[in-house]
Structure 1
Amino acid sequence: MENIETKAKKLGLDKGYYLLLMAILEEYEEAVELPQAC
């Protein structure tokens, strides 16, 4: 978790907001991969 906190501080983001952003990006990547697999 320290790595995430360090990245969040570098970006000037709150840790919770950074984790939320990462979760959204993960969901987006999964959504993009599905059509490519078909």
Structure 2
Amino acid sequence: MKIGYARVSTFEQKLESQIEVLKEAGAEEVFQKKIYGDYS
């Protein structure tokens, strides 16, 4: 099983495009994380 991980650290970045690429690469499950601010 392939697992993907998508992460963004600014409001301008979008998870959707990363998730799409991961699924096209064969990821069956994708974990995602949004971290905004100075501590990303």
TM-score exceeds 0.5: no
Structure ranking higher in strand proportion: 2
Q: Which has the higher contact order (CA 8 A, sep 6+)?
A: 2
TM-score, with length taken from structure 1: 0.36
TM-score, with length taken from structure 2: 0.34
The structure that has the greater radius of gyration is: 1
Structure ranking higher in helix proportion: 1
